Structure 1
C-alpha cells in the first residue's frame, strides 16, 4: 500500500467513527424525547382522578373554575385558601380535611393552574388575580371571608385585603410573596419556563426527573416528596394551556411593586414561614410582621416553601389557635 493511501484510509475510519458517535447521540436524543413526551391533556381527561367529589366546576365571569366548597355551609365568614404558582387546590387538602369540621372551607385552582386552566385574556397579573378572588366570592355568595394563601396565593390574599378591606376578616400568609427578593434556589421548571427558545419543547415534553427536582426544591425535607406527589404536580402541569400560562405569568410578576401597600393592612394577620424556604427567603417573614400592625409570626425551622403541604398537622395547629 502506498503512503498516500494510508491517510485516506485513516480519514475514512475517522469519518465512520464520527458517524457512529453522531448516530448514538441522535438515538439517545430520540429516546430521551420519547421517554419525556408529555402532550397536553384536557380538564375532562384529568378530572376523573383529580376532581372527585366534592370538586365542582363553577362559572366565574365565563371561566369554569375548579372549586371545592366544604364544611359548614352556614359559616358567616368562610375560610378561602389560595395556592401558589404551578400548584393547585390539592396543596390545602391536609388543612381542609380538619378545618371543614368547624368552618366552611373554599379552595380553588387559580386561572392558569390546576384544572381551571388558562383564562381568555392571557392576563395573569396581580390585579387580575385579585379581581378573580372577589368575583369568586360573589359567585359563591360570600360577603366576608378569612383569606389564606401560600406564595403567589399569599400575595393575592393581602392584595384583596388592600383592595377590599371590608370583605376580609383575617389573613393567613404562608411564605407569601409581596416584597422584592432574591431566591437562593429556583425550581428547574421555573427556570426553563423563562427561556422563550424552550417553549415548544416544554409544551410537549415533561421529564419526570425535572418535575421531581422542582417539587423537591420547595420542600424542606426532599425525602417527603413521594412518587404520588410528583404524579399530581405532573398532571396539573399537563392540563391544556397551563405551561403557556406559566410562561406568561413569569413575565407579569409584580416584583415587589406594591410592597408599600402592605403597611395599609389593618386586619388580624398570621404569618407562617418555612425556615428552609429557598424561593422566598425567611427574612421576608419579618418584613410582613414589621409592616402589618399587630401581626403574629411563626417560623417552622425544618419546613420549606410549602409548609402547609409538607406538614399540615403542625402548621394547622398554629392556624387553629389564631382562628379561635
Structure 2
C-alpha cells in the first residue's frame, strides 16, 4: 500500500520540482529601465500607481503624430518611423499599460477606456490638443475607438493592420502566432505566466511578420525581457479576456477624419480583407496594401511606410 502511494508522490514531486526549476524568472525593473530608455524617454504618473513610458521626439514645431503599438509590443516598434518622419513631424510614442516599461495597471483595466487614460496622460504631459493619431494592430483599434469619442482632437488617422473589424462572410479565424495561440486558452495563459522561453518569443515574432531581415538578437531580447517585467505576463493574459466591444465596429463610419489604411498582404494575425471592411465602412479612407509584408509594416518596410504616410499627410493636412 505504501509503495502504491509513494511512487505517484515521488513523480509529482519530480514534476513540481522540474516546473519550479524551469520557471522563467521576472526581469529587474531598474535594469530594464536602464537598458531600454534613451535620452528622449520620459515617464508620466497617473492614478493607481500607473507610470507611462513615452517619448516626445522629432520636430517640435511640426504637426504632432501620436502612435500606439500593438499587443505585446512597446513604443520601440515606432522608432523606424520616428527616424524617417521626425524632421518634419513631432513624433510622440508611448508604451501602453501592461506592456514594456509602463508595466501593469494596478486596476487591471486593459479595456479601450483604460488604455485611453494612459494616452490622455501623455497628451496632457506634452500639451498636445490636436494631432494625427496612428496605431498598429491593437493600437489601431484603440486609435479608431479614440477618434469616435474625440472627433475634435484627431485631425487624421493612420491604421496599420488595425484590429476591430469582424471577419468577412465565410472566413475562419486567422492562424495567429504561437504566443497568441497560447494566450487564447486558460492553460496557455497559465503556462506563459510561469514558463516563457526566449525561443517561444522569437518564434512568435517571426510568425507575425513576412519580412524577417530586421529581426536580430537584440530585438528578440527586448521582447523577451520586457514581456517578463513584473506583472506584464499576467497583464497579457488579462488583455485576451477583455471585451473588445465589437458593436463599435458598426459605428466606424461616423469617423470623418481622413484615414490612411496600410496593410501587409501576408498578415497572419488579421486578414488583409479587414482593410476592405474598413474602407467600405469609413467615408474618408485611403487603402494601401503591401505585397510580401506581414503584420508590422512600419518595421518590415519602414521606408515605404514612412513615404506613404508623408504623402498622405501632405495631401490631407
> What corresponds to 2:109 in structure 1?
123
Which structure has the bigger radius of gyration? 1
Out of 266, 286, 290, the residue aligned to residue 256 of structure 2 is 266
Residue 262 to residue 229, structure 1, CA distance change in 2 (3 Å)? same
CA distance in 2: counterparts of 1:219 and 1:84, whole angstroms = 13
Please list every run of 5 or more consecutive structure 1 residues that lacks an aligned counterpart in the other structure.
Answer: 1-18
> What corresponds to 1:153 in structure 2?
139
TM-score by length of 2: 0.87
Please list every run of 5 or more consecutive structure 2 residues that lacks an aligned counterpart in the other structure.
Answer: 1-6
TM-score by length of 1: 0.86
Deviates more, 1:85-94 or 1:252-261: 252-261
CA contact (8 A) 1:185 1:217 kept: no
1:20-35 mapped onto 2 (5 Å cutoff): 30=18, 34=21
> What corresponds to 2:292 in structure 1?
302
What is the DSSP-based 3-state SS (H/G/I as helix, E as strand, rest coil) of the residue aligned with 1:254?
coil
Q: How much is the aligned-residue C-alpha RMSD, in angstroms?
A: 2.2
CA drift of 1:223 comes to 5.4
CA distance in 2: counterparts of 1:198 and 1:261, whole angstroms = 33
- Asked if 1:58 corresponds to 2:44, the answer is yes
CA distance in 2: counterparts of 1:43 and 1:285, whole angstroms = 38
Residue 54 to residue 158, structure 1, CA distance change in 2 (3 Å)? same
1:140-179 superposed Cα distances (whole Å, 9 cap, x missing partner) = 2111110010001001111111001000010000000111
CA distance in 1: counterparts of 2:27 and 2:143, whole angstroms = 30
Residue 224 to residue 137, structure 1, CA distance change in 2 (3 Å)? closer
CA drift of 1:42 comes to 3.6
> What corresponds to 1:283 in structure 2?
273
Out of 38, 49, 58, the residue aligned to residue 24 of structure 2 is 38
What is the DSSP-based 3-state SS (H/G/I as helix, E as strand, rest coil) of the residue aligned with 1:166?
coil
CA distance in 2: counterparts of 1:187 and 1:197, whole angstroms = 16
Residue 94 to residue 55, structure 1, CA distance change in 2 (3 Å)? same
CA distance in 1: counterparts of 2:291 and 2:32, whole angstroms = 35
